[in-house]
Amino acid sequence: MQLDNAGSASGAATGKGEEGARYKMLRKLGEGTYGVVYKALDTVSGRYVAIKKIRLGTEEEGMPATALREISILKEINVHHPNVVNLLEVISLSQKLELVFEFCSGDLKQLWNETKQAFSGLKLKSMAYQLCAGAAFCHGLRIIHRDLKPQNLLLSGETLKIADFGLARTFQVPLPQYTHEVVTLWYRAPEVLLGEKKYSLAVDSWSIGTIIPEMASRQALLPGDCEVDELYQIFRMLGTPSEDTWPGVTDLPDYKPIFPQWRAKPLEQSIKNVDSVGLSLIQALLTYDPTRRMSAEAATRHAWFDDVRHMHPSAHPQMP
């Protein structure tokens, strides 16, 4: 989302009208589906911020739904958490909306591209723990992110922050029907791929289970090129699901009795640079049955994090 590799932007200020405005635009950081992100200087505090400029449509079109959803979700997260990007201000201008965020230097994908190095040792565990803690905090507020991926994980020094809540939804009971067009394909849970519309917080747990191995190798764990290929990559690694391993799977809309039958392989054949304790965590996060899949909050208590948990006391997930 935020890339500090500068194409220059106008130096004009923004925020309260052009004269005497609070934020001075510095450079363009990146571009998303409904907005352009700039680095700016807060002339009041002297700190850098990131400003997402959203151009509104016609009066009939109104505000993009993804923008409205992101604002609503981030306003709901009204208690600052170190592992969730902080929305500082919403500025409404004529035909334009500006979201002011704390500034982060880049995202995981950008960092890996620049350094050509994966995470290892305590750094790997620290980043994975912060991802679990940030997700657990959101889940405690009954918010499903629905698009966890390295590009949406920002870095501020050694702190990881979950960003881009444009696809996020609040989680309700009974479960409402959601669209299955969520989560970038490589991080998409099998229940979503199989057409389940009443999915839950467990879809984020699955995404975390695919991201941790990528943190350790810089290689996507399940890089499918279409939904069927994504499913088959999952099946080759974990075995083709059945009623024994996943009760109810045969009733999902897109389940096919003619799916090829693969046996599960030991995870260490697919995941490199993660020890056996870490693999047990990933296995729990990549459990087929969503009702038995490890939650993000439970993941923060896993033994793999015993030697880094004390490094992030303020990140321990709590209800605000």
- Give the catalytic positions in this structure: 147
* Structure token pair of residue 165: 């809540």
Angstrom distance (rounded) from CA 135 to CA 141? 10
> 73 Cβ partners below 8 Å, 6+ apart?
143, 165, 168, 169, 170
CA atoms within 13 A on the CB side of 253: 7
Residue 86 corresponds to which amino acid?
N
Per-residue b/e over 250-282, b at no fewer than 16 CB within 10 Å?
eebeebeeeeeeeeeeebeebbeebeeebbbbb
Question: Do 52 and 14 form a contact (C-beta atoms < 8 A)?
Answer: no
| Tokens read off for 42 | 């807060």
Supply 274's token pair.
Answer: 């993660």
